Structure formats: C-alpha cells, structure tokens
Amino acid sequence: MKKARWFLLTLVLIMGLALLAGCGDGGGAQSADAIKVGIVLPITGSEAMFGTMEKNSFEMAYEELKAAGKTTINGKQIQLLFEDDQGKQDVAKSATEKLINQDRVAMLSGGYSSACTNVIAGSAQAMTTPFLAVTGSSDEITKQGWQFVFRGTAAPASKYTGALWEMLEQVVKPKNVAIIYENTDFGLSSAKGFREDCQKRGINVVFDQAYEHGAIDFKPMLANMRNTNPELVFAVSYVMDAAMIVKQMKELDFNTNLFVGGGAGYTMPEFKENAGDASEYISSTTLWVPSVTWPGADDYFKNYKKKYNKEPDYHGAQAYATMYVIADALNRAQELTNTGIQKALKETDIETIMGPIKFEDWEGYTNQNKPITYVVQWKKGNLEVIWPESVKSSDYTYPVPKWRER
C-alpha cells in the first residue's frame, strides 16, 4: 500500500510536470517574431540512424547560414523545430498536427520513410502549409497534384536509375537481368521502374522476386536466381539485408558480370563494415557522393566527419541541401505567409551540394526536381563514382572478377 501511494504521487508529479512543460511550449516561451520551420524526422526507432544524420546535417547547414547572416529576415530569425516521428506514421501525423496548429510553423520539412512522408504531405496539403520533403521517395508523393508539397533533393524511386541506364546501354548491354527487392514501398517502386525500363529495351527479366523486410537468409532465393543465369543483378535493399545478400552470394560462389544496388543500403558506410570484402566491386545507383563536383560537397563531407566523427552519405547531403533551399526560399519570399512561401519555393533556382534544384511539373509529377543520379562502385573500401564519365573518380570495373579469382 505504501509503495502504491508513493508510486501514485510520482505518477501525478510526472504528469503535472509534463503538462506544465507542454503548456510552456504552446505559450509565449518562443519569441513571436521567429520564422518557424518544422522538421519531422525519425530520431528514435529503427530509422534513427538516418534521422539523426539528417538532423545533424540540418543543424550544420543552419549554423553555416547563420554565420552568413541568412537566417535573419527583416529582423525575424529562422527557427528550426525538430519533431521525432519514431518511424511511425500516426506519430508523424501527430507531429505534423502539432507543428502546424500548435507551433504555427511557416513551413514544414523532413520525412524519411515513404509512409511517414506520405502522411506529412497529406496533412500539410490539407492544411495548406508548404512542405519540402527531404528523403521520402515514393512516386506517389509528388504525383497527387498537391500544390503545397515540394520535393527537391529526393528523386521519385522509379527515377533513381537514370545514370545506370546510360551506363547499361553504353557498356554492359545486358540480355538477362535479375531483380530482387525488399517488399516495401521504396523497393516496389524502384523494382517497378527498373522492370518497365527493361521491357522498353527488350531485356529479359529472368528472375524477379521480392523478399520480406528484415529477412536474413537469402540463400534459397540466391540459389534459385543462380539457376536462371543472369548477367546483371539489380537489388533494392536497406543496410543489413544488403550486406547479407552480397556475403551469401560470395559464400555460394554465385558470379555475375555486375551487381547493382538501387541506392539506400548499398551506399551506406555500414554496408561496407558489415559486408567486409564481399562489398568489393558492388555497384549502386546513388543521388550523391562526396566526390561530386558540385561546390561545397567536399566541404560538407569533411566538416560533418570532423564535427560528428562519422561519415555522412547521401541522406545527410539531402538534409543539408534542403536547409539551403529553405533559407533561400524564405529570403526571397515577398511575404511570409503559406502562399508567399509556396510561391517562393516554386520559383527556386539554386545550386546546392546535390546539384541545381528547381521545382517543376513533369511526367505527372508536381513540384518535383529533376534528379541527377550517379553510379558508384566500391573499390578497396572506397565508394568511387564510375558514371557519368564526366564526373567519374575512378574507371568502372566490368565485368567484375569472379569471387575465386580475387
């Protein structure tokens, strides 16, 4: 009984404190003359690795912009409000509701997984608040004709392969390809895009299979795939599964002329760490690499590594570039209302570390930047750009040596 009483007291105390804190947030604690930008990212949960990298990059870009005097507009300071969506879509909805209705943000950004980005985009459009998506790459997000939803640094998933197709047409000229992909929105969209591109070019898809998110044993699938004898494997995976697939291919001594990942896991530093030497010569499409020639890319990579003691990949670059786009749009906006910011975003024409960004309407997309993609290849533990040839940092290796001949 005594225990219960103490416990009750503590519970009441916690709730009281939490309520007080909550009221403080909603009240006048924040200065009224700030331009608030709400950013929803997965800071906890299974996607926290990506969310934290993006939050760090936002903050880094913000500090640089502040030093350059670009975060104060007519005496009002840009203020970033981060909200954690825990990688869950209903939490993303709550976070969006809070930012728009409670904090009264001028605009929104963030969005890592496609599911969360879908929900944030839908809520933002319904409440006519401009939203600039960072990573969520489901095709649908910018295909709804939603005028308040913008996507600059992320390509629609089916458009990740622009540079890859150039390379395939000029160098590889495959006849038989295999497609494997994680059974998620991103995996399905990517695989669908690649499959259609194959059909257009008359390339045989000899193996086409989805696998469950979080799977660890790929040997049965890989053995079946080997029987179909593909020249090229296109795989869409996150980090752990990507590493498992290439490791198990090595164990099975399953050789192809080229193995290409569809972004996401195959470019992460964690992929190299987990896959070890099986990562050698694995290629991937990507939206960004530190060695691209866009001004500032190299500085970003070095500064990030210095500051956070970790290597960023394209996800971090997306957040970093997005912060610059936001600051640019807010500085140009005639008036800081939802339509004013929307207009300024629409007129964006800026060069970032991810290349030039403009929001255009094309092929059924609305407010979608035309993505620039690259093909990269792991060589001696480094991610080298091999295509387009004009920006390459190393020559491509094709066909890749067989596992036993290395």
Positions in the binding site for other proteins (CB under 8 A): 1, 3-5, 7-8, 11, 14-15, 18-19, 21-22, 25, 43-45, 48, 83-84, 86, 88-91, 93-95, 97-98, 100-102, 114-115, 118-119, 122-123, 125-127, 138, 140, 144, 146, 183-185, 187-189, 210, 212-213
Q: In terms of CB distance, is 71 or 123 closer to other proteins?
A: 123
In sign, the C-alpha dihedral spanning 362, 365, 370, 371 is negative
Cα three-residue angle 166-168-174, rounded to 5 degrees:
155
> Are the beta carbons of 385 and 349 closer than 8 angstroms?
no
**Radius of gyration over alpha carbons of the chain, in Å?**
23
Structure tokens at 311: 């290597």
Least spacing, CB of residue 358 vs other proteins, in Å: 25
> Are the beta carbons of 231 and 175 closer than 8 angstroms?
yes
Q: In terms of CB distance, is 140 or 277 closer to other proteins?
A: 140
How far apart, in whole angstroms, are the C-alpha atoms of residue 213 and residue 231? 25
Q: In terms of CB distance, is 44 or 303 closer to other proteins?
A: 44
> Are the beta carbons of 35 and 77 closer than 8 angstroms?
yes
Structure tokens at 84: 């954690």
Q: In terms of CB distance, is 122 or 162 closer to other proteins?
A: 122
Q: In terms of CB distance, is 183 or 394 closer to other proteins?
A: 183
Least spacing, CB of residue 93 vs other proteins, in Å: 6
Q: In terms of CB distance, is 7 or 362 closer to other proteins?
A: 7
> 3-state class of 389 per DSSP?
helix
Least spacing, CB of residue 319 vs other proteins, in Å: 17
- For 33-67, b/e burial (b = at least 16 CB within 10 A) is eebbbbbbbbbebebbebbbbbbbbbbbbbebbee
Least spacing, CB of residue 9 vs other proteins, in Å: 10
Least spacing, CB of residue 154 vs other proteins, in Å: 16
Q: In terms of CB distance, is 212 or 389 closer to other proteins?
A: 212
How far apart, in whole angstroms, are the C-alpha atoms of residue 260 and residue 191? 12
Q: In terms of CB distance, is 92 or 203 closer to other proteins?
A: 92
Least spacing, CB of residue 131 vs other proteins, in Å: 14
Q: In terms of CB distance, is 18 or 223 closer to other proteins?
A: 18
Least spacing, CB of residue 124 vs other proteins, in Å: 11
> Are the beta carbons of 305 and 311 closer than 8 angstroms?
yes
The conformation of residue 402, written as its DSSP 8-state character, comes to P
Least spacing, CB of residue 335 vs other proteins, in Å: 23
Least spacing, CB of residue 70 vs other proteins, in Å: 27
> Are the beta carbons of 138 and 117 closer than 8 angstroms?
yes
Structure tokens at 371: 């993505």
Cα three-residue angle 211-214-218, rounded to 5 degrees:
50
Stated as kind and residue range, the H or E segment containing 76 is: strand 76-84
